[in-house]
Structure 1
Amino acid sequence: MTGATGPAIDASTGAVTRRVWREAVHEPDGDGYRIMLDRQPLRVAGGEPLRVMSEMLARAVAQEWSEAGGAPGGVFGPDSLALTRLAATRQQRVAPDRRPVIETLLGYAGSDLLSYRAGDPQALVECQAAAWQPWLDWCANRHAARLPVVGGVMPVAPMADAVGALARALEAQDDAGLTALGVLVPTLGSLVLGLAVADGALDATEAVRLALLDEQYQLEQWGPDDETLERHAAVLRDTREAARFLLLSRQEGQEGTRMTDIAAITERWLIAGRVQGVGYRAWLAQEARILELSGWVRNLGDGRVEALLRGPADALARLRDASRQGPPAARVDAVEAEPWDDDDAGPTESGRFSHGPTVPGPLSRRAVSGQPPVAEPE
């Protein structure tokens, strides 16, 4: 609803389902920036205009509203407004009173994921120690907070000096840092990992890998299920959104970019081995969605699997390494990856990854953008 006082939108929840504006831009507002929808300020719950302190974040928030719903009359959900929700949380809940946020986050010191280790199997015990102990050591060195390591799940309270050190680390965070930590810490189950991301010592994707180490071990033993993979994708999405909010909040004078647009490249993969009839397509599609890659995967008539993937170079490299093992029932003999021109890719929907039916042969470079991929026999 738009009136003389501006759009009546609750930016803290993204409670908008239908687009009623044509243009979204950012503009200076004192020592910060505000978002304008058809020249009226975007307002948070309570009626005050949403203000952000970083121009880079202001551009990105305006971009969210430019894309939401596509055009006037379009329908969209709150997932389209991740940065807006975080910016409103900072303004309404964190900046006015930081103490409750710090106290809530500090409560995770006694239940930090990295402190609680399995007693068996030995492979998991060794994996946890190798992956988690370096970050407990980092916390001790960086923040003078040494958390205990215990076996099992019975809670063990950290020493008072460690709690005090972590409290000081949280108090040193700016409002944007506390806002991001309010998502990172409960999502990852670890105050240590959250602080490492907020301090720039750990990237979001690696933090999620560490947080899901136990569950990933179980998936490798018993095979994936849709519910678990969907939850893992949500953990990665929420972690990346919080990390991106923090990055944008702390940088000035640069164009905002989506995490999935950084170093975006396209590759075509051909995977050989026992990769059909073992859930390889479904596994690859789920892993690609977790990493927010675009593209598709399909079976070939000669027994191979073909995939076309687009996304950040580091995400493609991570999935390429994992694809050499694949799901538990697969046996991968080779993964051939080559750069691929977008004009040769055929139609792919940005931000979506699908798996399709079997085709006789792999994609040809004679394919024309906007036309179905051409299969060429071998």
Structure 2
Amino acid sequence: MRKFYQSVGVEAADTGHVVTLDGRMVKTPAKASLVLPTRALADAVAAEWDAQEDKILPDTMPQTRLASTALDRVAPRHSDVVAEVAAFGGTDLLCYRADEPEELIRRQNRVWNPYLEWVRVELGAPLRVTNGILPVAQEDIALEHLKARVAGHDAFELTALHGLTNALGSLVLALAYMEGFSLLEAVWQASILDATHQEEQWGLDDEVAEKRAFQHADLTATAEFISHLRNK
């Protein structure tokens, strides 16, 4: 789409803030009003629109995309998205451990165990660990506590949590970042621990490196989205 506006603005609305293009409110792809909960997020979305040149490139507008997703796709089906995100707890990455080599086993224990201890103590969700790929059944109470924690997020934060969980392959790591237990780079490194160990032995394929760079960029954009949401 060619750029069709000259000026970008931010205005207060009854329930938040809106971004305007030549005085007209930005809409979501589903034609809903893009009402944003914080001025910080509105400013970030406005900056993305302002940065567009001759053509509007959606791939360069992650804050706009996440906000639109929250309003169009998450808010109308909040309970379904909660269930989808919470389901990661039943097969969390951190619960599936290598049975060899010893160095990888030690590294998994050192890096992953503190997260499982945190989720046990702080969220009341003790998760069982297994070796290999055979599924391990988690206790219902643990899964219920994880789901309750997920359900406590509004549509905007749930959108972010959904993105983090998918990118990291772990609900535990995503919650650890969302709730301030761990830094973004730490949960990212924890999520690629197995791959990193293998790459130390065999090297990193260029295609894998490119894909990982995109994943990391998405993760960073989601973290910025959370920061904007919490900057009242």
- Same fold per TM (> 0.5)? yes
**How many correspondences in the alignment?**
232
User: Secondary structure of the residue that 1:97 maps to in structure 2?
Assistant: helix
- Choose the corresponding residue for 2:47, options 45, 63, 82: 63
Are the equivalent residues in 1 in contact too, given 2:15–2:35 (CA < 8 A)?
no
Which amino acid counterpart does residue 108 of structure 1 have in structure 2? F
- Choose the corresponding residue for 1:116, options 91, 96, 102: 96
User: Secondary structure of the residue that 1:95 maps to in structure 2?
Assistant: helix
Question: In the alignment, what sits opposite 2:6?
Answer: 22
* Deviation, structure 1 residue 48: 2.5
- Choose the corresponding residue for 1:216, options 196, 203, 223: 196
Are the equivalent residues in 2 in contact too, given 1:34–1:50 (CA < 8 A)?
yes
Tell me how far apart the structure 1 counterparts of residues 89 and 153 of structure 2 sit (CA, whole Å). 16
Tell me how far apart the structure 2 counterparts of residues 126 and 132 of structure 1 sit (CA, whole Å). 10
* Deviation, structure 1 residue 76: 4.7
Question: In the alignment, what sits opposite 1:53?
Answer: 37
Moved more, 87-96 or 144-153: 87-96
* 1:143 equivalent in alignment to 2:123: yes
**What RMSD over aligned residues (CA atoms) do the two structures have, in Å?**
1.3
Identity %: 34
Question: In the alignment, what sits opposite 2:61?
Answer: 81
Task: Tell me the TM-score normalized by structure 2.
Answer: 0.96
Moved more, 159-168 or 199-208: 199-208
* 1:32 equivalent in alignment to 2:12: no
Are the equivalent residues in 1 in contact too, given 2:32–2:72 (CA < 8 A)?
no
Question: In the alignment, what sits opposite 1:194?
Answer: 174
* 1:179 equivalent in alignment to 2:155: no
Deviations 1:307-347 (A, max 9, x none): xxxxxxxxxxxxxxxxxxxxxxxxxxxxxxxxxxxxxxxxx
Deviations 1:270-314 (A, max 9, x none): xxxxxxxxxxxxxxxxxxxxxxxxxxxxxxxxxxxxxxxxxxxxx
User: Secondary structure of the residue that 1:217 maps to in structure 2?
Assistant: helix
* 1:248 equivalent in alignment to 2:228: yes
* Deviation, structure 1 residue 42: 0.8
Deviations 1:44-63 (A, max 9, x none): 12322211010010001000
Question: In the alignment, what sits opposite 1:325?
Answer: none
User: With CA pairs under 8 Å and 6+ residues apart, which has the higher RCO, 1 or 2?
Assistant: 2
Tell me how far apart the structure 1 counterparts of residues 157 and 99 of structure 2 sit (CA, whole Å). 35
* Deviation, structure 1 residue 23: 1.6
Which amino acid counterpart does residue 26 of structure 1 have in structure 2? V
Higher strand share: 1
Question: In the alignment, what sits opposite 2:140?
Answer: 160
| Structure 2 unaligned residues grouped into runs of 5+ | none
Question: In the alignment, what sits opposite 1:239?
Answer: 219
Are the equivalent residues in 1 in contact too, given 2:164–2:174 (CA < 8 A)?
yes
Moved more, 123-132 or 197-206: 197-206
Structure 1 segments (4+ residues) deviating >3 Å = none
5 Å matches for 1:2-21?
17-21=1-5
Question: In the alignment, what sits opposite 2:25?
Answer: 41
Tell me how far apart the structure 2 counterparts of residues 157 and 186 of structure 1 sit (CA, whole Å). 21
Question: In the alignment, what sits opposite 1:363?
Answer: none
Higher helix share: 2
Greater CA radius of gyration, 1 or 2? 1
Deviations 1:180-207 (A, max 9, x none): 0110101100000111111122222221
